[in-house]
Amino acid sequence: MRGVFSQKTVQFVIIHDVCHIYRYYLMLSYYQMKQEEKDLANFFSRFPKISYSKKEIVLNAYDAYENLYFIEKGVVRSFFIDDNGIEFTVNFLKPYSIFPLSAFLSDRENNSEFEAFVAMDLRKAAKDKVADFIEKNPEIQSFFLKRMSTGLEGYVVRSQFLIRGSAEQKVVSSLLLLGLRFGRKVKNYTHIDLPLTHQDVADLSGITRETATLCINELEDNKLIAKKGKYFKLFNEKKLNEICKTFEDGSHLDFNF
């Protein structure tokens, strides 16, 4: 079931100062991040490869799990289903990501669903082997700390829009975050290299598909975004950020995507 979820569904702690974490970690050296990803890829290459078709479930919420999954190719969508049966997209995981990472690091049960957003290849390894690898590699520990901090920042920012923002702000903030994570600069716009339907944007924004379509159409009419097939282009990101800065209650969010 799809649609609008209640504020009760969004149970993230809003800490304004955390918003600046993302800016700092985006400035980490390109070589360092790539080297650590390469180390992870080398470790997981020893374990079985599994291929999944688009929309195929990889791991169900609350199922016992003995393995961790490493994304070799493709994108994974993590989501949960609230008490009313409404789906809410939590995150899109890129290649070189591991899941369920937060559950593993906190030694708790996994409460998210994970599905193949596109056709993809994974590697899976037993939790104890991954734990041993991390324990013996301090640079990997640091890598995960940075990645978790970045993820926390994303939740903090998104929760503000999901709770306080208008439908337009929810859509715009979702597109800007996707542009930040999957965007590719092309001339005077950012191309989001992730195939998205209006329903996908709605599930990420916490609104109905019909409302998402109205917002997307208005943004297209105002020449702020464009959509060709399933791919979005973001124009005038300064104006898009301005849309997100002031909430309907008059309060402001001092953050640029």
- Do 19 and 255 contact (CB within 8 A), yes or no? yes
Which tens digits make up the pLDDT trace of 208-244? 999 999 999 999 999 999 999 999 999 999 999 999 8
- Do 232 and 175 contact (CB within 8 A), yes or no? yes
When the pLDDT of each residue in the chain is averaged and rounded to a whole number, the result is 84
**pLDDT the model gives residue 189:** 95
With pLDDT > 70 as the criterion, what percentage of the chain qualifies?
85
Q: What domain range is 61 assigned to? A: 7-157
Q: Which residues make beta-bridge pairs with 124?
A: 69
Higher local confidence (pLDDT), 153 or 110: 110
Q: Which of 120, 138, 157 is the last residue of a domain?
A: 157
**pLDDT the model gives residue 196:** 98
176: domain CATH number is 1.10.10.10
Helix (H, G, I), strand (E, B) or coil at 96: coil
199 and 116 together in one domain? no
153 and 169 together in one domain? no
> What is the largest distance, in Å, between two alpha-carbon atoms of the chain?
54
Please report which confidence band the pLDDT of residue 204 belongs to, taking 50, 70 and 90 as the band edges.
very high
92: domain CATH number is 2.60.120.10
Evaluate whether residue 256 is within a structural domain.
no
**pLDDT the model gives residue 3:** 54
Which tens digits make up the pLDDT trace of 23-52? 333 333 334 457 888 899 999 999 999 999
Higher local confidence (pLDDT), 156 or 62: 62
Nearest to 112 by CA among 182, 58, 159, 181: 58
The dihedrals phi and psi of 79, each to the nearest 5 degrees, come to -155, 165
**pLDDT the model gives residue 208:** 93
Please report which confidence band the pLDDT of residue 19 belongs to, taking 50, 70 and 90 as the band edges.
very low
Q: 53-65: string of b/e by CB count within 10 Å (b at 16+)?
A: eeeeebbebeeeb
Query: Average of pLDDT values for 189-206?
Result: 95
Q: Which of 124, 157, 190 is the last residue of a domain?
A: 157
Helix (H, G, I), strand (E, B) or coil at 57: strand
Which tens digits make up the pLDDT trace of 47-94? 999 999 999 999 999 988 899 999 999 999 999 888 888 889 988 999
Domain tally, the chain: 2
- Do 89 and 77 contact (CB within 8 A), yes or no? yes
Looking at the predicted structure, is the pLDDT value of residue 11 above 50?
no
pTM of the model: 0.81
Q: Which of 114, 138, 157 is the last residue of a domain?
A: 157
Block residue for tokens 């082997």: 129
182 and 85 together in one domain? no
147 and 194 together in one domain? no
